[in-house]
Amino acid sequence: MPLIINLRHLEAHSLKLKGELPVADLDLDLRDELIRAEQPLQYDLEAMLMEEGLLLQGRLLLPLHCECVRCLKPFEFQLALGQWAQLLALAGEDKVSVVNDCVDLTPFVREDILLEFPQHPLCKTDCSGLPKTLIGKVKKPSGTGQTKQQSSAWAALDKLKLKN
């Protein structure tokens, strides 16, 4: 069920909204395979009518399951908007859609949440990445004798004697 508020309930006083919104209702359309939202969004909001608008203030919290872009380890990221505020116009060109005296707040919450998603999730700010391995490195020859010089394509050019 989307996050909907009835404007008639706000005529006398402000209204507290507290609860959870399922991830499916947020319709986040995540295309990044390193970030997954599986737990519901928690909200604690206060809504009040202004002269020609609806003011929303409060806190939004969405736990995310992420994989570090450097080391690929899974970790939890708490996407928190501690002092979230939104002023929705009820009149004019930018007015929000009102259906049966109700306003759907879900698109506005979704937009601000998506703006706060980590672009490059890191498990720690100083993550060193994947462990270093010897794959692809040339091993140094063992033994104390001189190694034979390998022939190269340039060796034939070194033998040329050019006149000055």
The Cα–Cα gap between 164 and 142 comes to 43
Q: Is the pLDDT of residue 17 over 80?
A: yes
Above 60 in pLDDT, residue 54? yes
Residues 6+ apart with CB under 8 A from 123: 66, 68, 70, 71, 73, 75
What confidence tier does 131 reach under pLDDT thresholds 50, 70, 90? confident
Q: Pick from 48, 45, 75: which is nearest to 61 by CA? A: 45
Angstrom distance (rounded) from CA 57 to CA 67: 31
Q: What is the pTM of this model?
A: 0.71
Q: What is the pLDDT of residue 29?
A: 79
Confidence of residue 127 (pLDDT cuts 50, 70, 90): confident
Query: Percentage helix, strand, coil, to 5, in the chain?
Result: 15, 35, 50
Which tens digit of pLDDT belongs to each residue from 137-158? 555 655 555 555 566 777 777 7
